[in-house]
A and B are shown apart, each in its own frame.
Chain A
């Protein structure tokens, strides 16, 4: 592990910056240290129902932590992380709150009670309203900061689960898409993978239950071909939980190899942890290198003045030009500032327009549905449909917003980094959170007049089959809208002679329909307001993070240049004797800084 090494190096660099009287650089290194101290690497385990997600998590950590059942599915997200003492904590965040850390309610329960809280049997549709359950367990695999997140089955991206999974993707370091070897990938799964690739740096496809399906190699081959066709560069790892568990039971290493789990563990260790680690080391090294560079600039300026007093004025003049350039970078009219401000303004407008467009489509489709049925009878279904569609829209909108925010950050950095590499701020730290999607509260039922004929299903309801990102069955496919029910004709016959009643009913139905439409529009407006607000807040935070980050660097550069100018001017005035000692001192100091820089470079370069 190189994290301690990195921390140690940061400590050394801190000492140097303090010694050279640069508190601004010390503060920057402190933040680097804080980032290193939090090693959590989140791995999201996602997939359709009953593909063996919980079983996969259990087999990875070789402990029956997540409940596994032939029939009953997981209902609540379960977070498994390292802890010295096994523990289970249920976390309930206040609904619709701003996600303040203090607001969450945490309850410790015995390990054996986990199933009662997270499975569909004990907590159907998560009625208990848990945000997630946290399991701590002492395991070597997790000790490196790996956090496994077991999710409820994604019923397509359009389901509420799917939407919150998408939001969680943004904060994940890796995603494992779990799919069993019974069949090749379906459209929704591939769509999900493609969306995940856009949000998350590491995506792997895990093919489970290879013990049960003799043709799993064929399926793996087909899946790889599908991935290649779709341009998804995810690794496919076939595993068998059954074989793994038999191997763990009998401590049989040959069986363990066969289970495919060693490959998965290696992937998690090397790719996921390794990459997170590499990223950590790279950015730490980059921070230290920049600090070294800034320290060295000042020293070098002084040194060259000392070494060649004749050229001193030239050096000072050049330094002053650099100082002015650094000052310009700080300025609000700097090119990167303009790019950032304009970019965010454009982004806010585009993202809002995208959301409005998506929601408008839902409203139109919803009105068609309402017109085709009696809203009083089908309200529950209709509301669920609206909710699902709105969640999908919010998720898709979010994906777009975060993707474009990242592209903007890169563009700003490119403008900023005229000379030399600049570290991108860790945008993952931007609080985008699940709050955005969980905000989408279910629609309230409007006061509808008494339902005409009890409950009946909304037969026209078919909007996004398996997901909002793919309108599998467009409304135009609703069959038989032209063919009225032959059975309805009977109803008509029974009502003959009761025309008055029928007219009254018709009017009541019309009223119910318009009430339902108003309710839906109000709801969609509300959602647009909330989601729009959250999105804007997210983008503003991004803007602020980027601005602060680059301004700080610009300021540090400016301070360095000012110090350099001062040092050089001082050097001009110094005596011959002073000069000789100072040259010796500076060369020694520079060598020390260079040594630190070399260590930082070594850390970034090696694994």
Chain B
């Protein structure tokens, strides 16, 4: 939580992993498992993008990277789990199921989109594809695209299940973005089920739900995104969902991606569209079929309009035209507006506060779960100190205590009065780890004000911790919040 703690945590966890490696050196399977997790500990955070079929997973991935690397299509498209990681040169590696050796695939790029051909290997024999791509966006995070759940081919869904919640191992992703079009009962059940039981109580801390394809809500009307934000806000307040994910964000991946890559000629075409007679324009924008109709209007030509529709969707076109009519005069400004309205910035912000800042804690968590499994499957006397150390880390690290309390609050295992819950969650770092974020103050607040606010929070929570009326659980929770307040104070310059 303070600057020193995570590095300390990282070293301790690494040390305990090494210790375990030494204890289990005679068991090749355990060694391989532990070594794998020791290596993984230093890799970028693994963020899986999951969701039902056609929830827009690949589109959002492209938007996050800012390049069209994941293939997208109107039909069901992603059929195998695909990892996108940073590297010097583009490469695609196919990792087959079982012990077969990995093989390099040829890379083809067709008009920007990356085309991946499995070269005759059937999809059900593929464990995963690893796409290496030079991109700054992938440097701190490895993105993992997964096939849709409730896919028509049961086998494709099963591959996602296997990846996100394999029955014999902790999940391969450190954190999950769960995309849903609009909440279905199935989505909730999926969120409930894809965390392994051992970490279930801490599950919400590594999941963010995304209301994707937000532009299609309300039939792509110009106010669709306002509706989408309202729906996301309702979900955030929903008790079931609060217990399942950190927060809910509305994003339209297509708009975000196109906004990030808008070209001058596209802008020019949109300007020409915006200049049409209002009556004619209404008819042109009425339906996708009308929008691409030959000769109506004569300018811009049908193939240009078709390309625009591919890039922006009906909502994007309507929004762009209306923005231009309202006085946007420059393609850069339009692009900025589109990205701003797409909700991508909000998502990035959430990703940064929830995952990137907590990277070490999440990584340590993944590693300790893996280690715990070895200790359980193969208990031996020599491992007792390792087990004790794991327990010590879990019990003694305040970052874990914060995560745990956060999720307990979310799952309402610990109940606090409603007005105290929000404050407690914020102080525990649910909105971000910096002192200002924890105290709910603007980022430019001076140290003196921060100190005053932290002291006020400290004494308030100390009182709650010592209140004779508080139950044991409430008191414990209050004590954890007190420690967080102390941490904030310790981190402030004197």
Are A and B a genuine interacting pair, yes or no? yes
**A contact set with B: CB distance below 8 Å:** 48-50, 52, 70-71, 155-156, 159, 182-188, 190, 209-216, 218-219, 222, 226, 240-243, 246, 255, 258, 372, 453-462, 465-466, 472-473, 476-490, 493-494
Q: Are B394 and A490 interface neighbours, CB within 8 A?
A: yes
At the interface, yes or no: B280 with Cβ under 8 Å from chain A?
no
Q: Are B217 and A70 interface neighbours, CB within 8 A?
A: yes
Given A186-B152, A454-B415, A461-B189, are A486 and B390 neighbors across the interface (CB < 8 Å)? Answer: yes
> Interface range on chain B: under 10, 10 to 19, 20 to 34, or 35 or more?
35 or more
Known contacts A159-B185, A214-B310, A258-B287; can you find 12 more A-B pairs with CB under 8 A? A70-B218, A184-B152, A187-B150, A209-B219, A211-B314, A212-B313, A454-B412, A455-B413, A477-B161, A485-B201, A486-B368, A488-B201
Residues of B within 8 A of A457 (CB): 192, 200, 240, 243-244, 411
Residues of A within 8 A of B182 (CB): 49-50
Enumerate the 5 nearest inter-chain pairs by beta-carbon distance, A residue then B residue, closest first: A480-B196, A211-B287, A183-B54, A215-B74, A70-B218
Question: B164-203: which residues lie under 8 A (CB-CB) from chain A?
Answer: 165-168, 170-171, 181-186, 189-190, 192-203
Q: Are B288 and A212 interface neighbours, CB within 8 A?
A: yes
Residues of A within 8 A of B199 (CB): 480, 485-487
Cα separation A483 to B190 with both chains bound (whole Å): 20
Q: How far is the CB of B9 from the nearest CB of chain A, in Å?
A: 14
Q: How far is the CB of A482 from the nearest CB of chain B, in Å?
A: 7
Given A210-B288, A483-B198, A486-B372, are A182 and B54 neighbors across the interface (CB < 8 Å)? Answer: yes
At the interface, yes or no: B440 with Cβ under 8 Å from chain A?
no
At the interface, yes or no: B263 with Cβ under 8 Å from chain A?
no
Listed A/B pairs (28) with beta-carbon separation below 8 Å: A50-B182, A70-B230, A155-B184, A155-B186, A156-B186, A209-B216, A209-B219, A210-B288, A210-B289, A211-B220, A212-B219, A212-B288, A216-B288, A218-B75, A240-B287, A453-B413, A454-B473, A455-B411, A455-B412, A456-B201, A457-B200, A457-B411, A472-B157, A478-B193, A479-B171, A480-B170, A483-B197, A488-B198
Residues of A within 8 A of B152 (CB): 184-187, 190, 226
Q: Decide if the interface of chain A is mainly helix, strand, loop or mixed.
A: loop
Question: B364-413: which residues lie under 8 A (CB-CB) from chain A?
Answer: 368-369, 372-373, 376-377, 390-391, 394-395, 400, 404, 411-413
Given A155-B184, A211-B286, are A186 and B197 neighbors across the interface (CB < 8 Å)? Answer: no
Q: Are B151 and A461 interface neighbours, CB within 8 A?
A: no
At the interface, yes or no: B224 with Cβ under 8 Å from chain A?
yes
Choice from A182, A462, A486 contacting B193 with Cβ under 8 Å: A462
At the interface, yes or no: B222 with Cβ under 8 Å from chain A?
no
Q: How far is the CB of A225 from the nearest CB of chain B, in Å?
A: 10
At the interface, yes or no: B231 with Cβ under 8 Å from chain A?
yes
Residues of A within 8 A of B412 (CB): 454-456
CB closest residue in chain A, given B199: A485
Residues of B within 8 A of A218 (CB): 74-75
Residues of B within 8 A of A246 (CB): 286
Q: Are A222 and B75 interface neighbours, CB within 8 A?
A: yes
Q: How far is the CB of B374 from the nearest CB of chain A, in Å?
A: 10
Cα separation A472 to B151 with both chains bound (whole Å): 11
Q: Are A242 and B185 interface neighbours, CB within 8 A?
A: no
At the interface, yes or no: B234 with Cβ under 8 Å from chain A?
yes
Cα separation A52 to B369 with both chains bound (whole Å): 44
Residues of B within 8 A of A182 (CB): 54, 181, 213, 216
Q: Give the number of residue pairs across the A-B interface with Cβ within 8 Å.
A: 222
Cα separation A590 to B143 with both chains bound (whole Å): 86
CB closest residue in chain A, given B197: A480
Cα separation A155 to B187 with both chains bound (whole Å): 10
At the interface, yes or no: B493 with Cβ under 8 Å from chain A?
no
Cα separation A447 to B49 with both chains bound (whole Å): 42
At the interface, yes or no: B227 with Cβ under 8 Å from chain A?
yes
Q: How far is the CB of A528 from the nearest CB of chain B, in Å?
A: 25
Q: Are B219 and A477 interface neighbours, CB within 8 A?
A: no
Residues of B within 8 A of A184 (CB): 53-54, 75-76, 152
Residues of A within 8 A of B413 (CB): 453-456
Given A456-B412, A461-B192, are A482 and B224 neighbors across the interface (CB < 8 Å)? Answer: no
CB closest residue in chain A, given B231: A71
Q: Are B286 and A456 interface neighbours, CB within 8 A?
A: no
Q: Are B288 and A477 interface neighbours, CB within 8 A?
A: no
Q: Are A242 and B219 interface neighbours, CB within 8 A?
A: yes
Cα separation A483 to B234 with both chains bound (whole Å): 34
Q: How far is the CB of A497 from the nearest CB of chain B, in Å?
A: 15
Residues of B within 8 A of A159 (CB): 185
At the interface, yes or no: B154 with Cβ under 8 Å from chain A?
yes
At the interface, yes or no: B13 with Cβ under 8 Å from chain A?
no
At the interface, yes or no: B292 with Cβ under 8 Å from chain A?
yes
Among A219, A477, A480, residue most surrounded by chain B Cβ atoms (within 10 Å): A480
Cα separation A466 to B199 with both chains bound (whole Å): 24
Cα separation A454 to B477 with both chains bound (whole Å): 14
Q: Are A462 and B192 interface neighbours, CB within 8 A?
A: yes
CB closest residue in chain B, given A452: B413
Cα separation A216 to B75 with both chains bound (whole Å): 10
Q: How far is the CB of B235 from the nearest CB of chain A, in Å?
A: 10
Given A49-B182, A70-B217, A489-B391, are A211 and B289 neighbors across the interface (CB < 8 Å)? Answer: yes
Residues of A within 8 A of B25 (CB): none
Q: Are A487 and B404 interface neighbours, CB within 8 A?
A: yes
Q: Are A487 and B165 interface neighbours, CB within 8 A?
A: no
Q: How far is the CB of B318 from the nearest CB of chain A, in Å?
A: 10
CB closest residue in chain A, given B200: A459
Q: Are A214 and B197 interface neighbours, CB within 8 A?
A: no
Residues of A within 8 A of B165 (CB): 477, 479-480
Residues of A within 8 A of B189 (CB): 461-462, 465-466
CB closest residue in chain B, given A246: B286
Residues of A within 8 A of B404 (CB): 487, 490
Cα separation A183 to B151 with both chains bound (whole Å): 11
Q: How far is the CB of A411 from the nearest CB of chain B, in Å?
A: 35
Residues of A within 8 A of B171 (CB): 479
Cα separation A71 to B415 with both chains bound (whole Å): 30
CB closest residue in chain A, given B291: A214
CB closest residue in chain B, given A481: B197
Q: How far is the CB of A282 from the nearest CB of chain B, in Å?
A: 38
Residues of B within 8 A of A493 (CB): 391, 395
Choice from A155, A480, A490 contacting B185 with Cβ under 8 Å: A155
Choice from B53, B183, B190, B309 contacting A465 with Cβ under 8 Å: B190
CB closest residue in chain A, given B171: A479
At the interface, yes or no: B103 with Cβ under 8 Å from chain A?
no
Choice from A70, A155, A187, A209 contacting B227 with Cβ under 8 Å: A70
CB closest residue in chain B, given A480: B196
Cα separation A412 to B244 with both chains bound (whole Å): 55
At the interface, yes or no: B323 with Cβ under 8 Å from chain A?
no
Cα separation A339 to B75 with both chains bound (whole Å): 50
At the interface, yes or no: B32 with Cβ under 8 Å from chain A?
no
CB closest residue in chain B, given A462: B193
Cα separation A135 to B123 with both chains bound (whole Å): 51
Residues of A within 8 A of B190 (CB): 465
CB closest residue in chain B, given A213: B288
Q: How far is the CB of A456 from the nearest CB of chain B, in Å?
A: 5
Q: How far is the CB of A335 from the nearest CB of chain B, in Å?
A: 46
Given A486-B372, A490-B391, are A214 and B198 neighbors across the interface (CB < 8 Å)? Answer: no
Cα separation A209 to B215 with both chains bound (whole Å): 13
Q: How far is the CB of B367 from the nearest CB of chain A, in Å?
A: 11
Cα separation A186 to B154 with both chains bound (whole Å): 10
Residues of B within 8 A of A472 (CB): 150, 154, 157
Choice from B76, B186, B196, B400 contacting A479 with Cβ under 8 Å: B196
Cα separation A216 to B54 with both chains bound (whole Å): 14
At the interface, yes or no: B290 with Cβ under 8 Å from chain A?
yes
Residues of A within 8 A of B302 (CB): none
Cα separation A246 to B287 with both chains bound (whole Å): 10
CB closest residue in chain B, given A229: B152
At the interface, yes or no: B52 with Cβ under 8 Å from chain A?
yes
Residues of A within 8 A of B157 (CB): 187, 472
At the interface, yes or no: B414 with Cβ under 8 Å from chain A?
yes
Among A50, A243, A472, A479, residue most surrounded by chain B Cβ atoms (within 10 Å): A479
Residues of A within 8 A of B376 (CB): 482-484
